[in-house]
Amino acid sequence: MPTTFESWFAEHERLARATREGLAGEFGRLLDLVAGSLRNGGKLMVFGNGGSAADAQHLATELVVRMEGDRRPLAALALTTDSSALTAVANDFGYDQVFSRQIAALGRPGDVALGITTSGRSRNVIQGLETAHAMGIGAAALAGGTGGGLHGLAEPLLLVPSTRTSAIQEMHIVIAHALVRGIEEALGL
């Protein structure tokens, strides 16, 4: 057990350093995109599958409610929480459209769609970002490894330099928390 504990933390620390060093520029672009949208009356729509769905909900909640200090609510929603919409779209149109259909209904130019996928290959996340892009909505993503099908679609694209799902998810939540704090600072909250 102690060997597992030590090795897990050592790997986390290595990946955290590599993520910080490699993604600073892309993080700045994401921060500018989301803060600019919120400053101008837009909203952030976040989505993903499985653990990434939980991360989407976590991020949206931190913005709507608060992360640490009291401040005004910020417009964000996770497209993973409406079970009726998710199941109806999946049933009537196919699971690949569960996010694109919601973005088409709820998104407006000036909003931001943030897809979260550890592999970059989740078809429903890719279709959601394609819809956002076609509608003039900012399309960004958090992913890992090679980024799968997100290159040229998600701008910015923050790729955690790992192929291990759990490690990518750990970095995604660190990035999400840094994003919330950065947004608060950018908006003077």
pLDDT tens digits, 48-76 = 999 999 999 999 999 999 999 899 999 99
Instruction: Find out whether 176 and 62 touch, Cβ atoms under 8 Å.
Output: yes
110-125: per-residue pLDDT in tens?
999 999 999 999 999 9
Residues in Cβ contact with 93 at an 8 Å cutoff, skipping those fewer than 6 apart: 101
* Residue range(s) defining the domain that contains residue 67: 2-186
> Residue 60 sits in a domain of what CATH number?
3.40.50.10490
4-39: per-residue pLDDT in tens?
889 989 999 999 999 999 999 999 999 999 999 999
Q: Give the mean pLDDT of 178-188.
A: 97
**The pLDDT value given to residue 2:** 67
Terminal Cα distance for the chain, rounded: 43
| Total-model pTM | 0.96
DSSP 3-state helix, strand, coil percentages of the chain (rounded to 5)? 60, 15, 30
